[in-house]
Structure 1
Amino acid sequence: MDGHIVDVHAHLYPSSFPTTPIEQILTRAKAVNVSSIITVPETLEDAQSIFELKNDLTLSNSLRDMIEPCAGLHPVTPQGAMSLIRVDQADSILQFIKDKSTELVGIGEVGLDFSPRIMNNAIAAYPDLKLDAEDLKNVQRTVLARHIDLSLQFDLPLNVHSRSAGHHTLDCLRDYGARKVVMHAFDGRIQYANKGVEMGFFFSIPPSIVRSPQKQKLVAAIPLSNLLLETDSPALGPEQGVDNEPDSIVISATEIAKVKKIDVSDVIRQTTENAYKLFPKIKKNSI
Structure 2
Amino acid sequence: MSQDRDAMMQLAFAAGVTRLFVPAIDSAYAPGMYAVQEQYPDNVFMMMGLHPTHVKENYEEELAFVAQELARTDKKFYAVGEIGVDLFWDKTLLAQQQDAFSRQIALAKQYGLPINIHCRDAFNETFDVLESHKGAGLYGIFHCFTGTQEQAERAIGYGMKLGIGGVATFKNGKIDQFLKDIDPKHIVLETDAPYLAPVPHRGKRNESAYVVLVAQKLAEIYGLSVQEIAQITTQNSKDVYGI
Alpha carbons of structure 1 residues 268 and 44: separation in structure 2 relative to 1, 3 Å: same
Question: In the alignment, is residue 69 of structure 1 matched against residue 46 of structure 2?
Answer: yes
User: Distance between the aligned counterparts of 1:181 and 1:218, measured in 2?
Assistant: 21
Q: Which residue of 1 aligns with 2:142?
A: 183
Question: In the alignment, is residue 103 of structure 1 matched against residue 76 of structure 2?
Answer: yes
Which one-letter code corresponds to 2:83 in the other structure?
V
Q: Which residue of 1 aligns with 2:225?
A: 263
Which one-letter code corresponds to 2:210 in the other structure?
S
Q: Where does structure 1 differ by over 6 angstroms across 4 or more consecutive aligned residues?
A: none
Using the TM superposition, give the Cα deviation of residue 172 of structure 1 relative to its aligned residue in structure 2, in angstroms.
Answer: 1.0
Contact residue 163 and residue 186 of structure 1 kept, 8 A? no
**Residue deviations 1:43-101, cap 9 Å, x none?**
22222222122223xxxxxx431101111111114xxxxx3334414222332223268
Which one-letter code corresponds to 2:166 in the other structure?
P
Query: What SS does the aligned partner of 1:194 have?
Result: helix
Contact residue 18 and residue 43 of structure 2 kept, 8 A? yes
Give the TM-score taking structure 1 as reference length.
0.77
Give the TM-score taking structure 2 as reference length.
0.90
Question: In the alignment, is residue 26 of structure 1 matched against residue 9 of structure 2?
Answer: yes
Using the TM superposition, give the Cα deviation of residue 167 of structure 1 relative to its aligned residue in structure 2, in angstroms.
Answer: 3.1
User: Distance between the aligned counterparts of 2:36 and 2:104, measured in 1?
Assistant: 24
Query: What SS does the aligned partner of 1:43 have?
Result: coil
**Residue deviations 1:154-196, cap 9 Å, x none?**
0111111000112321331231246112001122222121112
Which one-letter code corresponds to 1:180 in the other structure?
Y
Using the TM superposition, give the Cα deviation of residue 137 of structure 1 relative to its aligned residue in structure 2, in angstroms.
Answer: 1.2
Using the TM superposition, give the Cα deviation of residue 153 of structure 1 relative to its aligned residue in structure 2, in angstroms.
Answer: 0.5
Question: In the alignment, is residue 118 of structure 1 matched against residue 90 of structure 2?
Answer: yes
Q: Which residue of 1 aligns with 2:60?
A: 88
**Residue deviations 1:221-243, cap 9 Å, x none?**
32100000000111111234311
Q: Which residue of 2 aligns with 1:199?
A: 158
User: Distance between the aligned counterparts of 1:243 and 1:24, measured in 2?
Assistant: 14
Using the TM superposition, give the Cα deviation of residue 18 of structure 1 relative to its aligned residue in structure 2, in angstroms.
Answer: 4.0
User: Distance between the aligned counterparts of 1:139 and 1:44, measured in 2?
Assistant: 17
Contact residue 185 and residue 236 of structure 2 kept, 8 A? yes
Aligned pairs (5 A) from 1:1-287: 17-20=1-4, 22-56=5-39, 63-77=40-54, 83-90=55-62, 91-99=64-72, 103-115=76-88, 117-119=89-91, 133=92, 136-177=93-134, 179-211=138-170, 212-238=172-198, 239-280=201-242, 282=243
Contact residue 148 and residue 175 of structure 2 kept, 8 A? no
